[in-house]
Structure 1
Amino acid sequence: MAVLCQDTSPIDIVLVLFQAGEAIWARGFFEERSDQSEVKARIVEKYFSAWATVVMPTAELKNGKIAYIDLYAGPGRYRDGSASTPLLVLERAISNPRMAKMLVALLNDANKDNTSTLQEEIDALQGIENLKFKPEVSCGEIDEDAARFFMQTTLIPSFSFVDPFGYKGLSLKIVNGVIKDWGCDCVFFFNYNRINAGINNPAVTSHMNALFGEARANALRKQLEGKKPDLREALILEALANEIKNLGGTFVLPFTFRNAAGTRTSHKLIFVSKHFKGYDIMKGIMAKESSTHDQGVPSLTYSPADADMPLLFSLQRPLDALEGDLLAKYANQEVTFDQIYQKHSVDTPYVRPNYREILIKLEKETKVKAYSTTGKRKAFTYPEHVRIRFKG
């Protein structure tokens, strides 16, 4: 029997604790796949593949297992026949013999019709018999017992996907529980529209407190009074990120989805990890899925309207800001490229190529000097043995 825990705890214990959240909203979620759903699925599947590649060598030396946990798996396909995230992940594992021997897939939904259809879709996958551990499909609700279980149980390396992430029955304790152990990362769906509407609604105070923490939620309610939409969004996201970090998630990376008109945020995918490597990989994936780039800097946003408004984002010129910030922050200092990138890029939209482009520009303008500690260097490259000296 497949096991999620490092010890011999049976998977059945885990499955009893799973739930789906907001079943009524979800009934229409899988009617047809939108462009946004495609982007979301690609982000999750691409990261799962990259994450598995990183953790499998170490996991093989331990108990030979990695896990994919989906707390809101749905029926497996959209009405148009397109595969949703769980099937994409299983297909990826089937195509990789090494992964096929290690993957433990735990798939849950609160809707019995969804779990029944999902099981049928899994059974119909070509090559499904090649997976060493049969995917486990369950139907249940998440509650406080689930949060306690994840907090008290040592998990095997796991990538967890929590979608949709409203507020009923869910708290960031779940997120903390599924990322606390080695090799464990998480992506969750943050329904911004519902949270924005609910933060000041007395009827859902307990849910908001569970999501942000009571003290932070109370402070946020005061901060939001009279604020314009853009500032409200920034404050809510900052409060969420700070609470996640307070609970143990070192790196938090949001990807924003806007409505069809591109006028406001509808929801976000929030990635959480304890390791910079995971953060760096996911940022690269999200960068490629961004619908706009300005001077090569990704928006980390998907908006269906961006194709019709190409100049809207391009007026920001973020690389100019990066250049000025680096010159000020590292004045009279000597550092490596990785030191700059790992320290400066966190909580910004900048990716590795942006830093490389700016450093090349600064070196050509003699505002920085780069030299190799080994005496050998290809011009305008910045491997680990190259030191970068900023002028004052």
Structure 2
Amino acid sequence: MSRAPELTATEFFKVPQPHSLIKADIVSKYIISWAKIIIKSNLHFKKDSRAYVVDLFSGAGKYDNGEKSTPVKLIEAALEIPYLKENVVFRFNDESLEMIKRLEKNIKDIPNCDNFSHPIKCTNFDAESEEVFSWFVKNAKTLKIPMCVFIDPFGYKQISRNLLKTIIQVPQSDIIFFFNYKRINAALGNEQFESNMDKIFGDLRVQNIKREMETAKPIQRSEIIIRHLNESLNEIGAKYVVPYVVVPEDDDQISHYIVGVTKHTRGYELFKKIMKQHSKIGLSAKSKFGHDLASLQRDKQQTLFEEAPDPINDLSNQLKKEYANSTVAFGVLYKSHHPTTNFTESEYKDSVRRLLANGQALIAEESETPNRKTTKGQQSIPNYLVIKFL
């Protein structure tokens, strides 16, 4: 298998591409944040506080130039937090024996790596093997230990609805996976790979995708594929799906997506926040989150001839319409409304600031006065601030 036809696993881990480092940052930050939330909650309610962190295609943990990839980042971050050391259960797997041996060495080189209450386990299974699937089924049916699973195959065949459904059925479990758009887009036009597409989308949905693509423009293909991916994941129990698009620096075509899958509004909020922090993407892009420098260049060119899109204005108009003639605390508004959009908390605050500045909303008389009227020169919007929409 290869991440691209000309690239082997060994070559891939020589020097990281910028988007590979971004991926490792997004994944490690999300998983550690997820583990903090899950473990603290279960400790509070005196439940079994173990949490699985599973990387099915872990790789070597480090590149040849010393840059760290996801497994090492996760272990180092967890070591800094006592309740994570006591409760996180790391499981790393890779189909390449060479990669696993390198990973085991890189883990041993981490100071205090043996301080975890549950020893780190590295395995060398085919990700589609009965051993792997049975382990997930056992956890789903009997153990039901929360797990955050990262699936980053070199190709796309190992991404299956059955596996994703088994994982998402476990309470408090989330998934992050690598969606190889470039190769899947090509495979959807080739009957030879139809069975592989059926595994990802389901056979009926694959036929629907193909029908839509017959009349679609090339620029619309990614929207069609991602929409059907979202709907397919919703069908198997995922409530929120957050795609992060990657367009390589030397290209203007989509390479892949990093896809976050969760059932919980807090997970959805967390995915949006972390992906926003790592986004370099233009307003002309079809995706909200991503690394797409080509879209930033398109934005510059378009603004010479037409008015630039204004997402904050769009959100402001939504809030103005939905909360007209009502009074609501910002925290209540954000908590109830953000699950319906892909906007982040900071963007909600910017939208409320704009409405206040334009006289389309007021700070209610009964509102508690913020401790600080301004934050970085802008109107402070704490959760308790009560807004009156006109």
Q: How high is the TM-score relative to the length of structure 1?
A: 0.84
State yes or no: 1:45 paired with 2:28: yes
The answer to whether residue 259 in structure 2 is matched with residue 270 in structure 1 is yes
SS at match of 1:325: helix
| Deviations 1:294-328, CA, capped at 9 Å, x for gaps | 6xxx9411135567667268732222222223333
Any conservation in 2 of the 1:21–1:166 contact (CA below 8 Å)? yes
Separation (CA, whole Å) in 1 of partners of 2:358 and 2:293: 39
Q: Which amino acid aligns with 1:87?
A: V
Residue in structure 1 matched with residue 369 of structure 2 by the alignment: 377
5 Å-filtered alignment, 1:281-296, equals: 281-292=270-281
2:76 is matched with which residue? 91
RMSD of equivalent CA atoms:
2.8
Match of residue 118 from structure 2: 133
**1:58–1:324 CA distance, 2 compared to 1 (3 A):** closer
Q: Of residues 292, 299, 302 in structure 2, which corresponds to 1:303?
A: 292
* Mapped partners of 1:84, 1:190: distance in 2: 18
For the pair 1:327 / 2:327, whether they are aligned, the reply is no
Confirm or deny: 8 A CA contact 2:282 2:298 kept in the other structure: no
Q: Tell me the equivalent position of 1:9.
A: none
The answer (yes or no) to whether the contact 1:23–1:110 under 8 Å persists in 2 is no
- Alpha-carbon deviation of 1:142? 2.8
After the TM superposition, which residues 211-226 of structure 1 pair with which residues of structure 2 at under 5 Å, given as runs?
211-226=200-215
Aligned to 2:186: 197
CA 1:30/1:372 → structure 2, altered by over 3 Å: closer, same or farther? farther
Gaps of 5+ in 2: 374-378
Does the CA contact (< 8 Å) of 1:59 and 1:157 recur in 2? no
Q: Distance in 1 between matches of 2:264 and 2:154?
A: 23
Q: Please give the alpha-carbon distance, in whole angstroms, between the structure 2 residues aligned to 1:76 and 1:221.
A: 38
Quick one: structure 1 residues 234 and 342, their matched pair in 2 at CA, closer, same or farther if it must change by over 3 Å? Answer: farther
Amino acid at match of 1:258: V
Distance 1:286 1:312 in 2: 25
Q: Are 1:59 and 2:51 matched, yes or no?
A: no
Q: Secondary structure at the match of 2:364?
A: strand
Per-residue CA deviation, residues 22-43 of structure 1 (Å, 9 max, x unaligned), is 7975523323111101100111
Q: CA deviation at 1:196?
A: 0.4
In the TM superposition, what is the alpha-carbon distance from 1:140 to its structure 2 partner?
1.1
Question: Given the two structures, how large is their TM-score scaled by the length of structure 2?
Answer: 0.85
- 1:276/1:165 CA distance change after superposition, 3 Å: farther
Q: Counterpart in 2 of 1:358?
A: 351
Q: In structure 2, what residue type is equivalent to 1:127?
A: N
Q: 1:129 to 1:266 in 2, by over 3 A?
A: same
Aligned pair count reads 368
Question: 1:117 matched to which residue of 2?
Answer: 102
Q: CA deviation at 1:251?
A: 0.9
Q: Deviations over 1:165-193 (max 9, x none)?
A: 74324302222222322321111000000
Structure 1 residues 61-76: aligned runs within 5 Å: 61-76=46-61
Matched residue type, 2:369: R
Task: Indicate how the Cα distance of structure 1 residues 293 and 234 shifts in structure 2: closer, same or farther if over 3 A, else same.
Answer: closer
Say which of 2, 5, 15 aligns to 1:32.
15
- 2:192 counterpart SS class: helix
Offset of residue 335 of structure 1: 4.2
Distance in 2, matches of 1:250 and 1:372, equals 38
Q: Provide, for residues 229-270 of structure 1, a one-character-per-residue CA deviation record: whole Å limited to 9, x for no partner.
A: 221000100000111111111111111110223511111100
- What is the CA-CA distance between 1:332 and the residue it aligns to? 4.2
Structure 2 vs 1, CA of residues 278 and 80 (structure 1 numbering), >3 Å: closer, same or farther?
Answer: same
